[in-house]
């Protein structure tokens, strides 16, 4: 409880981690606010069905609050009028992300009669906010206020995906990624193989447990595995122990 988990990917697609956490928290009975800025609801729903979770049913019973960011952004930019008293959560074409934070705060708040376990905020992916014009400081402020509200006050969890490339010239994105790394309790860093494509090994994942964040003088615990993504699950193994090698 009260943990901030950063999902980071470089030279590969780390969205399989988002699907894992979404299905994991829904099966665990948690209240989930999913800010989906990268894909449509139908995309997440199809993948979740393969993992044994029905997103439509979760929405109907109030366990899942889903913000379809692509649709909301297009409506905001190209036309559909807002309903009176219901501003768009993506109204961050203004300098700050207050409307998006207000949406999250209301979504994770416990309603009368709710029996869900601790709230969870899931964001896929935070880098999109920068592409849509939000300033790095505004993005970091948004995450800070979400941590105070979800992690500190409600003892819930936050899981955020960001794309990064250490060779990138996108300084704003790298600033956000590095700042989030310093404040994360756990970092799951998916990386593409330096040797290129392999049908038996799709990438490697670095698991960084931020012990230094909790206790001064402690070294962070780092574990590295390789993985292969299959239709309904992901197989992890130690480096050099893939089926291609054995």
- Model confidence pLDDT, tens digit, residues 174-222: 999 999 999 999 999 999 988 777 888 999 999 999 987 777 778 889 9
Q: Which CATH architecture has domain 3-79+87-238?
A: 3-Layer(aba) Sandwich (3.40)
pLDDT at 197: 78
Q: Encode pLDDT of 30-43 as tens digits.
A: 999 999 988 999 99
Q: Encode pLDDT of 155-172 as tens digits.
A: 999 999 999 877 777 889
Q: Encode pLDDT of 61-116 as tens digits.
A: 999 999 988 777 666 655 555 555 555 665 545 556 888 899 999 999 877 667 88
pLDDT greater than 60 at residue 246: no
Name which residue leads in pLDDT, 99 or 23: 23
From the centroid of its chain, how far is CA 232?
20
pLDDT at 72: 73
In the chain, what are the domain boundaries?
A: 3-79+87-238
Beta-bridge mates of residue 31: 119
Q: Quote the pTM value.
A: 0.87
Q: Where are the alpha helices (DSSP H) in 118-246?
A: 127-131, 136-146, 171-183, 211-214
């Amino acid at each position: 409880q009260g943990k901030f988990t950063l999902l980071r990917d470089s030279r590969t697609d780390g969205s399989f981690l988002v699907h894992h956490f979404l299905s994991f928290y829904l099966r665990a009975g948690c209240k989930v606010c999913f800010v989906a800025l990268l894909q449509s609801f139908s995309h997440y729903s199809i993948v979740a069905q393969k993992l044994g979770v029905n997103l439509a049913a979760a929405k109907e019973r109030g366990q899942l609050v889903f913000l379809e960011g692509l649709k909301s952004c297009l409506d905001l930019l190209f036309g559909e009028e807002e309903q009176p008293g219901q501003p768009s959560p993506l109204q961050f074409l203004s300098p700050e992300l207050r409307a998006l934070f207000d949406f999250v705060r209301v979504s994770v708040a416990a309603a009368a009669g709710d029996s869900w376990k601790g709230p969870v905020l899931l964001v896929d992916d935070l880098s999109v906010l920068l592409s849509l014009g939000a300033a790095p400081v505004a993005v970091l402020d948004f995450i800070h206020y979400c941590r105070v509200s979800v992690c500190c006050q409600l003892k819930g969890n936050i899981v955020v995906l960001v794309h990064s490339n250490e060779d990138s010239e996108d300084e704003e994105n790298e600033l956000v990624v590095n700042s989030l790394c310093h404040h994360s309790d756990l970092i799951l860093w998916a990386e593409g193989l330096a040797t290129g494509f392999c049908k038996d090994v799709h990438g490697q994942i670095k698991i960084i447990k931020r012990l230094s964040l909790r206790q001064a003088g402690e070294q962070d615990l780092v574990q590295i595995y390789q993985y292969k993504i299959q239709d309904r699950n992901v197989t992890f193994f130690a480096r050099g122990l893939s089926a291609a090698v054995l």
